[in-house]
Amino acid sequence: MRVRVDPSPSALHRRQRRPHAVILPSSRHALRIALCLELRVVCMSALFNLVLNCFQKVKDEEYPKMDSECLKKQDAKTSAAIIGLLEGDAKFTALSKFEGESIVGRDAEDAEKLQKGVDASIAKGVLPKLEPPPTYVTIDVLGKTPDDVCNVIVGHMGDAVNTGGVVVLCGLSGTGKGTTVARLGELLPEGKTTGWSNGNVFRSLTLLAATWCEQQGLAEFDGAKALTPENLATFMGMLTFDKFDGAWDIKISGLGIEAMVSAIKNTDLKGPKVSKNIPTVAEQTQGEVVKFAAAAATKMGEDGLIVLLEGREATVNYIPSPYRYTLTMSDRAVLGQRRAAQRLAAAVLKDVGEGASEEAIAASLRKQLAAFLEEVP
């Protein structure tokens, strides 16, 4: 027989469920908790500062420092530095808006005038009507550096980078066409690139037309008499584009003139006889000059050169090339900022000169900004 032994009072006491109690930590335990909390705060603070510094670094890298060296360059970095300095400035915002609207308006007006000249050349049978016009690769330059834009172009060109070809670049003023052409000249193989400007062709034609008027005994330039279809055909026949002494050049040979354009481009071709009459000649000779430019660019491209040609679609559509690019700016406000910054940079450099302190540059920038705002309606 089993005998059950009742538990002792102490055992009963141990088995009883005790109510929950608040246990106060010892001083050592409390110190550990405090240290952990402090460490957590320090870590969170350090993380916050790290993130803040990263954002600050991105901003600093986005906008170059505006010092005398940056101002002297007068390039895309100079414009970016000015935009950074004046970011959020109400006066700069107003000037940028005005410049952006002016660019779009002027470009539209210029394009309309140019198209009229091309249409007149089509009507005369000098140029064919392009149906459909050639297609272009569109590059949005917003947020891109000049190198980024150039990399898109070089990648699209493929083997032509080494074999030669014609690069046609279009776009609104302020999208960086000139900067892109200059940078391409630096990035592509040395000695492989060359530019082309229709300006010297227009000037050469004007020189010939003005000389013709003089030889006819006319008291002043008479476009109606000088620029007949027969005369224009004769004048164009006096211009030859080829290699002379190993270098590509335009030779003028006629009406007693025997000269290389490279030798007179800054003298006779910029004299008053040419300068005051070139608008009249350019208006009536778009077709002739476009055909001349197309033949010249093709010659150089086939010779292994990369011809960098910028202009408006109405005329460069007639330049044979598969490498066509249109630079766009999806944010028109940035377009205005760039142009405003370019104008301010030139004015500040003229005001303070080279080697000025950052303080002097900043003060001049505010002064020039106030002066430019007086132009805004």
Bridge partners of 308, per DSSP, are 167, 195
Q: What would the mean pLDDT of 170-181 be, rounded to a whole number?
A: 90
8 Å CB contact between 235 and 257: no
In the predicted structure, residue 38 carries a pLDDT above the cut 80 = no
In the predicted structure, residue 232 carries a pLDDT above the cut 80 = yes
Q: Using alpha carbons only, what angle is made at residue 230 by residues 226 and 231, rounded to the nearest 5 degrees?
A: 35
Is beta strand 257-260 parallel, antiparallel or unpaired with respect to 165-171?
unpaired
In the predicted structure, residue 52 carries a pLDDT above the cut 90 = no
163 located within any domain: no
pLDDT tens digits, one per residue of 65-106: 899 999 999 988 899 999 999 989 999 999 999 998 888 888
229 located within any domain: yes
DSSP string computed for 221-243: --HHHHT-HHHHHHHHHTEEEEE
For the chain, what is the domain count? 1
272 located within any domain: yes
Give the domain range for residue 216: 199-286
233 located within any domain: yes
Q: What is the pLDDT of residue 4?
A: 41
Separation between Cα atoms, residue 301 and residue 296, nearest integer Å: 9
Q: What would the mean pLDDT of 19-42 be, rounded to a whole number?
A: 51
249 located within any domain: yes
In the predicted structure, residue 33 carries a pLDDT above the cut 80 = no
8 Å CB contact between 309 and 196: yes
8 Å CB contact between 349 and 361: no
207 located within any domain: yes
158 located within any domain: no
Bridge partners of 137, per DSSP, are 325
1 located within any domain: no
Please report which confidence band the pLDDT of residue 305 belongs to, taking 50, 70 and 90 as the band edges.
Answer: very high
Nearest to 340, CA basis, from 65, 86, 148: 86
Q: What would the mean pLDDT of 217-229 be, rounded to a whole number?
A: 96
